[in-house]
Structure 1
Amino acid sequence: MNRYDLVIYGASGFTGQYVVEFVHRAAIEHGLSWAVAGRNESKLLQVLKNASETVAADLKETPKIICDCSDTESLALMARQSKVVLNCVGPYRFFGEMVVEACVENGAHHIDISGEPGYLEKMQLNYHAKAVENGVYVVGACGFDSIPADMGQVCVKKEMKGDVNSVETFLDVSIPNIPGAAINFGTWQSAIHGFANSKDLVGIRRALYPDRLPSAKYKLKPRGNLFYCNEKESYAMPFLGSDRSVMMRTQRGFFHEKDEKPTQIQCYALMSWWNCFLTMFVGMIFSLLASNKFGRSLLENHPKFFSMGAVSKQGVPKEKADNTNFEMTLYGKGWATKGEHDQPPNRTVKTVVKGKNVGYGATCECMVQAGLVVLQETDKLPGVGGVYPPGFAFAETTLVDRLNKHDVTFQSSVIEG
């Protein structure tokens, strides 16, 4: 059976329909074969029709694979026809594992854009050994969550030359003043169930990493729940997304697989003082409701009300999404040499990552470029297969160079030492 280079699973979903456009462009650039996959042929046809108008090409004859995450045999058939599956079907907590299993068992590499630590770490725990055995790479968090942060810390590491003691990330998302939601409902739903099942994550981590990382000699202190960031001249608060958990898994990889000193990580979001207050207010209500079944039902059924308009089941309006951009600044402190250090960190590296259209632009680009790297640079990936975070998987590849050419840019410089 011939395999398509890239198969977009969930091509008719909120994100998948945009991934189609990016894969079409990549296929022309690299001479690749590709297909779309999903459970509803008419919806797939409609997506291809819409994409045809956007990219000014006839995509309606693109191969279509009909499969459903509730039908394991159909997923297996899809995987057997794929070299790399780009999995766009979330929340991954509910719909991800069966796709990963199908890919691992049937020899297809798997890329997803999950920002769900519970799912990501469970996949590593349950499928890493089998993926290694079958020569399959499974790399999650390959969208806005968490390519900028995880590949950003790899850029800091390379620019530092020596050991990196700590990395702090500061995320600034600019959202235009246009009516409509700013956050996809799927992201909201993932957060609800991630919070509700946070205790499960503790058990997964204990099984995945039974031993603690060695304690750092020079401690990185958390900055607090609300503070003024002098470096960025803005108020900030801890970023509650998946970045830190993904970055720490990459640190685990460097420590366990390459015997390198682990780096301390903290992640923050920049906001106005007023938006910090609103975020904390919504967060308190959210955490209270997400902790019980009735509250979760309220949050899922009335997202617009409980998010103060930030979330809608109708998705983010295209004009608003197109103009929602991000800038992430990473500050790494360390040394220009490796080994034991008798002096505190004396070298500071700054990496700035920028991207446009957080949800449907930068995320799609990151996913597709990650898929191309797995397809074309297998010899530069760790080992012979396995389940990895992007920073560890792609540390020795050209992913950053590829993204720099496609509007997700990484710039690093030494600002001290």
Structure 2
Amino acid sequence: MAERLDVIIFGASGFTGKNTVFEAVTVLKGLRWGIAGRNLEKLKAVLKEVGVKAKKDLSQVPIVIADVNDEPALLEMAKKCRIVVNTAGPYRFYGENVVKACIEAGTHHVDVSGEPQYMETCQMKYDQLARQKGVYVVSACGFDSIPADMGVVFLEKNFDGVVNSVESFLESGIKEGGSSNDSSAGLNYGTWESAIYGLAHSDELRGIRQKLYPQKLPKFYPVLRPRPLIFRSTEVDKVCLPFPGSDRSVVMRSQRFFYDQDSKRPVQMQAYVGFSSWMVATLVIFFASIFGLLSKYKLGRTLLLKYPRIFSGGLASREGPSEDSMERTYFKMTFKANGWPRADRLAEGSDQYTEPPTKTLMVRVSGMNPGYGATCVALLCTALTILRESEKMPNNGGVLTPAGAFSKTTLISELEKHEHGMKFEILANK
């Protein structure tokens, strides 16, 4: 059998896939990588387009034909590489067959899912089998939720004590410059579709979690309570709402993993997103309410899928964002932690403190082009880390969160190397 490629990017002709191929030219430099999908002509076109943009001849990059509904073809694809970088979503519909093929082939798998139902179902169904096969399956390896999950890892490493709770505050915006007439959306259609079906079936999560974690975590005090629905944060001087993405669920799965694996006291977490004014935040609530209501009904989902720009307030479209708007979009995720200094550390991770937290730390993760630059770089960096540092990862395999998989690796420093990577910094330590 021919020697395996290091990496295959599956779904390479999609919006996220094409941007991942572009970033692969630099991030995967020195590795043997290829692309895969169901349409040969579209895949050839991607290599030609990206080659022109990257000023590289990509004509010799291997192409593999595989369809998410063709399980034998997926298995053959997985056998051709050491790790599959899966960009073909929504993962609720298209992800599980790829995961199964990878585990059967003994091939690692990473993706950018922000869909808790898919991620937690995969953990419930395939974690033990992945461990037996020595395969790592890691989701949420993009903007959902590398900044949040690895941000908490970065924070804990720099806290010099015991963290009780973390609040995260996400900000995003467009830097000045470029075309003033750019009215392109910020999300591509696949991301919009994933959000619709994720919310539509959110009631499935309770049953999944009861099976995944039959034993509840003990409560740790003081309990971190959610803030009001809308409030002004003094930490980032923004009007904030609860963040509706998967960040908190991914972080809490990581903390559960550390508790089960190492008897480590779990960090409590609440996630928020900030806006420039009360008016903007109120408009977001309005559109989110319509989105939430319509997503629960078949007719409503049809309308959301047919008219994404209208029902997202211009945020999503079938065409997706323009390159100019993507390159000018920035994100900042600020974390505030409360806890106790090292001198007050308790003997056991399950012990309870009797005094309130006395120590705080603020850190930030930031970058440009979060949806389709930083996301694609992060996805490829996780693949690179598995190939280079699997000996630093737990259990010889399993279905893991990013922090569960990479907390002891150099992923954070790898992310900081690239133009579309992420910056991790300490803001204030008291």
TM-score band by shorter chain is: over 0.9
What's the counterpart of residue 349 of structure 2?
none
Inter-partner Cα distance in structure 2 for 1:414 and 1:286: 37
The Cα of 1:409 is off from its aligned counterpart by 0.8
TM-score (norm 1): 0.97
Q: How many residues align?
A: 414
Residues 121-152 of structure 1, C-alpha deviation per residue, up to 9 Å, x if partnerless?
11101110100000000000000100000000
> Does 2:180 correspond to 1:179?
no
> Does 2:242 correspond to 1:243?
no
The answer as to whether partners of 1:159 and 1:414 remain within 8 angstroms in 2 is no
What's the counterpart of residue 159 of structure 1?
158
What's the counterpart of residue 13 of structure 2?
12
What's the counterpart of residue 277 of structure 1?
282
Inter-partner Cα distance in structure 1 for 2:83 and 2:65: 17
The answer as to whether partners of 2:28 and 2:384 remain within 8 angstroms in 1 is no
Alignment-mate amino acid for residue 280 of structure 1: I
Inter-partner Cα distance in structure 2 for 1:237 and 1:99: 35
**TM superposition outliers: structure 1 runs of 4+ over 6 Å:** none
The answer as to whether partners of 2:13 and 2:46 remain within 8 angstroms in 1 is yes
Inter-partner Cα distance in structure 2 for 1:271 and 1:211: 38
Q: Runs of 5+ in structure 2 lacking a partner?
A: 347-351
The answer as to whether partners of 1:138 and 1:386 remain within 8 angstroms in 2 is yes
Inter-partner Cα distance in structure 1 for 2:299 and 2:174: 31
Inter-partner Cα distance in structure 2 for 1:307 and 1:186: 14
The Cα of 1:412 is off from its aligned counterpart by 2.5
Residues 154-200 of structure 1, C-alpha deviation per residue, up to 9 Å, x if partnerless?
01111113221001000001135631111222121111111111111
Inter-partner Cα distance in structure 2 for 1:217 and 1:286: 36
The Cα of 1:414 is off from its aligned counterpart by 4.9
Residues 336-383 of structure 1, C-alpha deviation per residue, up to 9 Å, x if partnerless?
233153321111111110111011110011001111000110000111
Alignment-mate amino acid for residue 236 of structure 2: K
> Does 2:414 correspond to 1:402?
yes
> Does 2:211 correspond to 1:207?
yes
Give the SS at the match of 1:216.
coil
Inter-partner Cα distance in structure 2 for 1:383 and 1:237: 37
Inter-partner Cα distance in structure 2 for 1:350 and 1:394: 22
Inter-partner Cα distance in structure 2 for 1:72 and 1:343: 56
What's the counterpart of residue 356 of structure 1?
368
The Cα of 1:325 is off from its aligned counterpart by 1.0
The answer as to whether partners of 2:186 and 2:316 remain within 8 angstroms in 1 is yes
Residues 200-250 of structure 1, C-alpha deviation per residue, up to 9 Å, x if partnerless?
111111100112211122121211110010111111010000100000000
Residues 58-83 of structure 1, C-alpha deviation per residue, up to 9 Å, x if partnerless?
00121000010010000000000110
The correspondence for 1:261, drawn from 236, 241, 265, is: 265
Inter-partner Cα distance in structure 1 for 2:196 and 2:51: 35
Residues 91-149 of structure 1, C-alpha deviation per residue, up to 9 Å, x if partnerless?
00010000001001111100000111111111101110100000000000000100000
Q: 1:67-82 residue pairs with structure 2 within 5 A?
A: 67-82=66-81
> Does 2:221 correspond to 1:217?
yes
What's the counterpart of residue 389 of structure 1?
401
Inter-partner Cα distance in structure 2 for 1:372 and 1:204: 31
TM-score (norm 2): 0.94
Inter-partner Cα distance in structure 1 for 2:120 and 2:428: 33
Inter-partner Cα distance in structure 1 for 2:159 and 2:224: 17
Inter-partner Cα distance in structure 1 for 2:39 and 2:363: 43
What's the counterpart of residue 21 of structure 1?
22
Cα RMSD of the aligned pairs, angstroms, is 1.1
Alignment-mate amino acid for residue 83 of structure 2: V
Inter-partner Cα distance in structure 1 for 2:331 and 2:28: 27
Inter-partner Cα distance in structure 2 for 1:131 and 1:230: 44
What's the counterpart of residue 123 of structure 1?
122
Give the SS at the match of 2:283.
helix
The answer as to whether partners of 2:336 and 2:362 remain within 8 angstroms in 1 is yes
Residues 3-53 of structure 1, C-alpha deviation per residue, up to 9 Å, x if partnerless?
11011001111011111122121232xx21001001011111100001111
What's the counterpart of residue 36 of structure 1?
35
The answer as to whether partners of 1:7 and 1:82 remain within 8 angstroms in 2 is yes
Q: 1:270-349 residue pairs with structure 2 within 5 A?
A: 270-272=274-276, 273-337=278-342, 338-339=345-346, 340-349=352-361
Inter-partner Cα distance in structure 2 for 1:309 and 1:331: 31
Give the SS at the match of 2:15.
coil
The answer as to whether partners of 1:155 and 1:412 remain within 8 angstroms in 2 is no
The Cα of 1:288 is off from its aligned counterpart by 1.2
Give the SS at the match of 1:335.
strand
The answer as to whether partners of 1:160 and 1:335 remain within 8 angstroms in 2 is no
Alignment-mate amino acid for residue 351 of structure 1: V
Inter-partner Cα distance in structure 2 for 1:257 and 1:310: 40
What's the counterpart of residue 52 of structure 1?
51
Alignment-mate amino acid for residue 16 of structure 1: G
Q: Which moved more, 1:211-220 or 1:2-11?
A: 211-220
What's the counterpart of residue 136 of structure 2?
137
Inter-partner Cα distance in structure 2 for 1:119 and 1:275: 31
The answer as to whether partners of 2:27 and 2:377 remain within 8 angstroms in 1 is no
Inter-partner Cα distance in structure 2 for 1:379 and 1:390: 16
Give the SS at the match of 1:46.
helix
Give the SS at the match of 1:145.
coil
